[in-house]
Structure 1
Amino acid sequence: MDSSEKNDIRRQAIARRQALNDGGQRSDAICRRLFEEFPFHEDSTWMVYVSVRNEVKTMGILREVLLRRGQVVVPYCLADNQLGLFLLTDLQELERGTFGISEPIAELRAERTISPETIDTLVMPGVAFDRRGNRIGYGKGYFDRLLHQLRSDCRKIALAFDCQIFADIPTEPNDLPVDHLITETQSIRCVWEV
């Protein structure tokens, strides 16, 4: 597979996303659609990424899960391009971290780091997607590695703006697609798409 093709798609998707002047409103619509499509269950463990720059904003989702459940799992970057998973109980436990992303306060991590196998629903970002759930990230592979550590029944949901959906995303043999894509105008069940 030609990595320049992935890089071209990545550049296009980032440019499209940066051109949006109403990302906050679109993010609110995505948040509403997420909870309409996937009603929250009291005993489920959700992991939600903490948005940065022009990504779909997740602060509303984090607040909602904290309100309903009292806790939500958030990722943080480890030195080896892996993600640590932290059980967050208050948004005040976040501080600016790697790549400018809000991450859990370092001193709290050891006592509240959890295993990927405990996640029931993963809400993840990406740069570009196709309707089959194939994705391109920023190129470091953090979420690619995490996807391989989750239980097979973990629901994998990606959030994106419509402008981030492409006809076809090139894949490699070890790439894992997401199950669902939520945009401001549609909910795509990727596992049933042809």
Structure 2
Amino acid sequence: MRTAILSARRAVPGDVRRAEAEELRRRLAALLRSGDTVCAYVPVGSEPGSADILDSLVAARIRVLLPVAREDDAGQPLPLTWGDYRGELVAARFGLREPPAPYLPAEAIGTASTVVVPALAVDRVGSRLGRGAGYYDRSLAMADPSARLIATVRDDEVLDRLPAEPHDVPMTHALTPGGGLVELR
């Protein structure tokens, strides 16, 4: 399933991808208010969205925390730590971009009213299909229980049913370019 979704994403023409990214930017900005804290991410490759979303949130005086992925000495993923986005990104492992140090502890996710999560797909009850490494699985349980957990996907990536594991934290919403904020569960 991951391979099929990634292949379909890569086939999306650039002009469609840019239009969808702008629509996601507009829709996310409408959900947040000045003074809010949001945990977001920097889209890479064919992921929906763009880094322009981050700049527009900061311009609206929204605090943006970005994830920093690290592993323990045995190579196992650790919960994400977070860095304040101030307009600067540095190259990171896995082809990612992240804010420069200093970093906040993993528990900083608990300060966000909204957590925007990368996903390959999400189903109508909130199960999220990620890349499979487990960084978000280790982190989302630390989010504020009242926070919106939003999977960002393309419109056709909101599915009826996905497999789920007991440790998966369900998403409360999906954000799509065409459908906007979709309540799950």
Paired residue for 1:4?
none
The partner residue of 2:64 within 59, 72, 94 is 72
Cα distance, 1:70–1:185 mapped onto 2, change above 3 Å: closer
Paired residue for 1:6?
none
Structure with the greater relative contact order (CA < 8 A, sep ≥ 6): 1 or 2? 1
Paired residue for 2:92?
97
SS in 2 for 1:13: helix
How far 1:167 sits from its partner (Å)? 2.4
- Aligned pairs, number: 176
How far 1:43 sits from its partner (Å)? 2.6
- Identify unmatched segments of 5+ residues in structure 1: 1-8
User: Does residue 110 of structure 2 align to residue 117 of structure 1?
Assistant: yes
Paired residue for 2:183?
189
SS in 2 for 1:175: coil
Q: Is 2:91–2:97's contact at 8 Å kept on the other side of the alignment?
A: yes
More helix by share: 1
* AA aligned opposite 2:19: Q
TM-score by length of 1: 0.83
Counterparts of 2:22 and 2:62, CA distance in 1: 21
Counterparts of 2:162 and 2:149, CA distance in 1: 18
Counterparts of 2:49 and 2:43, CA distance in 1: 5
* AA aligned opposite 1:104: P
Paired residue for 1:25?
19
Cα distance, 1:44–1:155 mapped onto 2, change above 3 Å: same
TM-score by length of 2: 0.87
Counterparts of 1:32 and 1:131, CA distance in 2: 23
Q: Is 2:117–2:151's contact at 8 Å kept on the other side of the alignment?
A: yes
- What is the RMSD of the two structures over their aligned residues, measured on CA atoms? 1.7
Deviations 1:12-56 (A, max 9, x none): 2111111111212111112222233x1x22232111111110001
- The within-5 A match list for 1:34-45 is 34-36=28-30, 38=31, 40-45=32-37
SS in 2 for 1:91: coil
How far 1:141 sits from its partner (Å)? 0.7
How far 1:70 sits from its partner (Å)? 6.0
Q: Is 2:125–2:184's contact at 8 Å kept on the other side of the alignment?
A: yes
* AA aligned opposite 2:25: C
- The within-5 A match list for 1:146-185 is 146-185=139-178
Counterparts of 2:130 and 2:83, CA distance in 1: 21
Deviations 1:81-111 (A, max 9, x none): 13111122x222x111011111122xx224x
